Amino acid sequence: MTEMITFENVCKSFGKTVILNDFNFRVMRGEKVAIIGPSGSGKSTLLRIIMALQDIDHGKVSIDGKPLWEVNHGRHLVKPTRRHLRDMRSLVGMVFQNFNLFPNLTALGNVAAAPRHVLGLSKKESEARAAALLAQVGLSEKLSNYPSTLSGGQQQRVAIARAMALEPKVMLFDEATSALDPELVGEVLGVMRDLASARDLTVLVVTHQMGVARAIADRVCFMEGGCVVEEGGPEALLSQPKNERTRAFLRAVHLA
């Protein structure tokens, strides 16, 4: 297997607060990784860096073998251009906790917008792609619905279809099920799992819900203080963690 995402000695601070501390991290092509840990441990910053929404202070990040935040130019490394960042973002889709749908567009319009405006597809082509994706997430009868008429689970499924519309190689889920009522988590989780398997996507899921980590992940990473403290298969790490800090975190999550 080849590496899809690579972090090498990455540091990121906001003022005097260190978020990622000499951070090293690798995700293989097609791997599904869940990232857990307390608030402030660097989980969401990690995703934002991969999505090229947040730069880094030091280190190297690459996606699919291409440098993200520094680009080879002859013998020198230079800051990336807007075009380079746009091209890199096209490799990655991201689904947020709060659905972030355009309220003035239908489900079809929300999903069709990116293929039309980013990829330059025609209205007919972009809507055909959107309709196919919405069918994949079980919403073929909701194409004309506006977000306000959809349940939370349906809105998140539209958001997943929208993230898939640019045909990314990597999908990021940042607490994608946390805002949902408990009975809706299963329907969205099923969509996440089915899409990831059907398309052989590389997937990173940041979550506080251990059931989500257990259902999705090949590997679970526990982060604290800008570092991966412990990692392993979901059953081993979530049931019998070796690190005391991981054990304390999981006890707190289960008591919440």
Taken in order of first residue, the domains within the chain and their CATH numbers are: 3-91+169-255 (3.40.50.300), 100-167 (no CATH)
Q: Which among 203, 120, 102 has a CA at the least distance from the CA of 111?
A: 102
Q: Using 50, 70 and 90 to split pLDDT, how confident is the model at 81? A: confident
Q: What are the tens digits of pLDDT across the range 199-246?
A: 778 999 999 889 889 988 999 999 998 999 999 999 999 999 999 999
Distance (Å, whole) CA 172 – CA 210: 17
